[in-house]
Structure 1
Amino acid sequence: MSDKGGESGEPTWVYGNRPVQELMERRPRSIQRLLVAVEQESRFGRLLRAARQAGIPTQRVPRRVLTQQLGHGIRHQGVLAEIAPRVYADAETLCLEALEATDAPLLLAVDRVQDPGNLGSILRSAIGAGVSGVLLSSEGTVGLTPAVAKASAGAVEGLVVAREPRLARRIGWLREKGFETVVLDPRGDVEWDRVDLTGPTLILAGGERRGVRPSLADACNSRARISMAGNFDSLNVAISTGVLLFEAVRQRKSRRRGS
């Protein structure tokens, strides 16, 4: 079972000061050109020096040119980087390499998350928690757009990400490989801090309104809930995903200290 990687097919712009800085640090060779608003050039001395050292073509243009390039209403902060199309990893290769790299890989799967801000925040938490890779369901999940890159503050550049059209089968495949597969579910039967996340683990997070598809939730062997006080049903998907990811980090650190 294999889903071949491919280009994201999204517009090839990264914008905003911090995302472009991180891109310059992590993947400078992917930058085809840099556009800087001449009115704000003094803010980007470090970035412009790095671009010059890397041989990246740089254009100083009126701020309105950047706005026209992205569209009105998008806060580009005076800098754009045009990049080569982002290539998604092959899903099976991502999983196998994660297993080869460590005896307890931590993977994240995302289903039906459509808001770029939410996905960007999720990816920021993922890189902070040291995940080995991210699987994005092909159905109803936003891709690695410029808005996602900006919301992640450049974290997408440090992550291995694959599109997975058959996520339920992939979850079953991972279970056969010994993974604990945990779906975040407000009606789950186990509290979030009672799930053993110390071994090979896949955490599955679902969309803003409908959550994960039932077929995917059924494929997992644990349903974790984050109980809420008061009259609130659940946390925002980005927050709840971060909670469970860093619970995995906490458990693994605790286990290492006790071994």
Structure 2
Amino acid sequence: MANTLKYFQKLPQSLRTLTTSAPKNDAWLSKIFVRKIEPTKESHSRMLSDKEIIYALQTHNFRPDSKVPYLSTISQTLDFIKAQNSLAGEVELVGSWTVNVGDQDQALHLWKFTGGYEKIDTFNEITSQSEDFKKIVECQGKLVRSRHLQYLLAFSYWPQIQLRKPNNVYEIRSYALKPGTMIEWGNNWARAINFRQNNDEAFAGFFSQIGRLYNVHHIWCYEDLNKRKETRESAWRSPGWDECVAYTVPLIREMHCRIMVPTDFSPTQ
């Protein structure tokens, strides 16, 4: 009980008020900071994203001795897509990275589909009928240990993606949220993102539609790791950032971050 009191005394005043106003018969410790979400007839995706654009995030774990030939299969995939007139300007690679810190021997590739799921259906139809593409996939299958694909939507409050040059490092912070908390997350981050734009570090923010659900990915761009340190410390000195963090932490079931570097053929560097 003494530890709980000390924790409570360290909270911002606005959060103390929120906690003390809870009904006495509630298990308030399990409900701290989580505000009630009213029922709605709008889907979460429509409320949080206003773009008819789907992003595909591929996460591949390649064999430690196969990085170079594996990346060659991704480059070949990119060349194949560029050669398809029916996909021109509507299926694009946004970023391609390998992980330096976090899950080793891992690569992430972010694709953009303009035209929604209809364009994804077109892409799948073309690739399923192409013998050349099948050979690329077969070769890749011998070089990877596991693969995962998610379809994502971009948060409407996040800045538009701008390709960067040259020589940056990227951080992807991935969150598994408690079911039913996506709107609450969006409400808080619509405010929190304002604290993270001073150094143009906000690259992209997504939530999952297909694949692992209630997943959120925030991708940040920094000149180097030291700049990352300075930028994050600067956010904590901004009044209001601590409160945004306090509201969102109870919504998370699991989180992890990875530091990534762009591949040679990545459009964003």
TM-score for the superposition, normalised by structure 1:
0.25
Q: Which has the higher strand share?
A: 2
Could you state the TM-score of these two structures normalised by the residue count of structure 2? 0.25
